[in-house]
């Protein structure tokens, strides 16, 4: 019996499961929408021939003709035509309407095209990742990250990552603005919030709690708020980039005119606001990854915990899933669960007294 170490075995299991999922897509989606009972065992010679035929069909649809598809695939038009014809024969259905002037999809062909694109993307991604396993990740990894999060929680992450992958050079750029990943040449951007739909791919790394808090000295002097309405008489230290449209009662309340007028201190940096709150400057609404040390030592205490909004997310955002560079995949995998569940900074947070 051949012995396989646990790491290799886990990797093999991962890709075996991925292959089964791809096969399931073929069996479930195609058989029920196009095959109409076609026996998957009656294939075009081999699995690779079937995939090549699928690629030929997708290329014809994408390029708009057999001749252009042949150029893209670096095959002869005759072979591309043969692939598609054999595919239709095996499926017992016409996928393309052909005339001397143009090629168009049939109804069945339209359904098949949609599923074929998904399957080919999964196959290419799997092949890319398998190929990456045979290589050591290397090169420059450009990362954009929020200032406060990076200063407090990324130095050790990068150090540990490079200890495991010494051939990767990390270029970490700190900014609280939303960078254009493609235009500015970043491999990954770390973003915090409730992400909007976009063409970018996002992987959640950790939940981000946001809490309302103040120093014990400030609360002793001005009183501890018991309900949202009590906030109107308090000083508020406002984070300039806060999205007040985020869901949660506390955010809705912060949008009111009365409370905004009590925002006597504005800053685009959360660390400054935390230090001001520790000094007795007022109330702040900040993520726990910034305020955790002050909260765990009692320099700040959470106020109105019953109105704590739903956690935001820390996301690794990147431009393309297909053919993802191995250095990027390794970093995303390394970050996943690195900070713990829940994150280590959420331990031992102090709350304001009830009376």
pLDDT digits (tens, 9 = 90+) for 75-92: 999 999 999 999 999 899
Write down the pLDDT at residue 10.
41
Interval 286-309: pLDDT, tens: 999 999 999 999 999 999 999 998
95-104, 126-135, 180-189, 248-257, range with the lowest pLDDT: 126-135
Within 10 angstroms of residue 245's Cβ, the number of other Cβ atoms is 9
Residues paired with residue 140 on neighbouring β-strands, in sequence order? 169
**pLDDT value for 3:** 33
According to DSSP, the β-strands at 263-267 and 236-239 are parallel
| 138: preceding bond cis by omega (within 30 degrees) | no
CATH tag for 139-205+313-339 (out of 3.40.50.10240, 2.60.40.10, 3.30.70.580, 3.40.190.10) = 3.40.190.10
CATH 3.40.50.300 at 210-310, yes or no: no
pTM, entire model: 0.60
User: What is the C-alpha to C-alpha distance for residues 44 and 236, in angstroms, rounded to an integer?
Assistant: 69
Task: For residue 67, give the nearest of 55, 56, 53 by alpha carbon.
Answer: 56
CATH 1.10.10.10 for domain 6-133: yes
Average pLDDT over residues 233-253: 77
Report the pLDDT averaged over residues 84-112. 90
User: Is residue 322 very low, low, confident or very high in pLDDT (cuts 50, 70, 90)?
Assistant: low
Q: Do domains 139-205+313-339 and 210-310 have the same CATH topology?
A: yes
CA of 290: how far to CAs of 43, 193, 237, 246, 275, in Å?
Answer: 58, 15, 15, 19, 10
Q: Could you tell me the two tokens for 232?
A: 């109107």
Going from N- to C-terminal start, the domains of the chain cover: 6-133, 139-205+313-339, 210-310
Task: In whole angstroms, give the CA distance from residue 14 to residue 8.
Answer: 10
Phi and psi of 303, rounded to 5°?
A: -115, 145
Q: How far is CA 93 from CA 89, 106, 284, in A?
A: 7, 9, 65
């Amino acid at each position: 019996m051949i012995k396989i170490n646990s790491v290799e075995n886990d990797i093999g299991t991962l890709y075996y499961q991925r292959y089964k999922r791809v096969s399931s897509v073929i069996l479930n989606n195609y058989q029920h929408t196009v095959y109409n009972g076609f026996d998957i065992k009656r294939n075009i010679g081999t699995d690779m021939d079937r995939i090549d035929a699928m690629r030929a069909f997708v290329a014809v649809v994408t390029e708009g003709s057999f001749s252009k598809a042949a150029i893209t695939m670096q095959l002869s038009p005759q072979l591309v035509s043969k692939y598609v014809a054999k595919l239709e024969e095996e499926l017992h259905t016409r996928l393309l309407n052909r005339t001397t002037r143009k090629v168009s999809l049939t109804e069945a062909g339209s359904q098949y095209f949609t599923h074929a694109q998904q399957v080919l993307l999964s196959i290419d991604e799997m092949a890319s990742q398998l190929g990456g396993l045979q290589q050591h990740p290397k090169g420059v990894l450009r990362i954009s990250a929020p200032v406060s999060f990076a200063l407090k929680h990324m130095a050790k992450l990068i150090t540990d990552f490079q200890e495991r992958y010494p051939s990767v050079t990390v270029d970490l750029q700190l900014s609280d603005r939303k960078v254009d990943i493609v235009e500015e040449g970043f491999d990954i951007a770390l973003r915090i919030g409730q992400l909007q739909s976009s063409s970018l791919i996002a992987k959640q790394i950790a939940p981000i709690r946001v809490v309302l808090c103040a120093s014990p000295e400030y609360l002793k002097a001005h009183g501890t708020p018991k309900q949202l309405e009590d906030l109107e008489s308090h000083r508020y230290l406002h984070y300039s980039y806060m999205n007040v449209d985020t869901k949660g009662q506390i955010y809705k309340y912060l949008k009111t005119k009365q409370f905004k007028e009590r925002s006597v201190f504005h800053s685009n940096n959360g660390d400054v606001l935390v230090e001001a709150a520790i000094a007795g400057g007022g109330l702040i609404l900040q993520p726990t990854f910034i305020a955790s040390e002050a909260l765990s030592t009692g320099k700040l205490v959470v106020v109105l915990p019953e109105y704590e909004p739903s956690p935001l997310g820390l996301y690794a955002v990147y431009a393309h899933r297909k053919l993802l560079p191995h250095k990027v995949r390794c970093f995303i995998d390394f970050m996943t669960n690195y900070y713990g569940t829940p994150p280590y900074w959420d331990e031992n947070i102090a709350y304001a007294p009830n009376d």
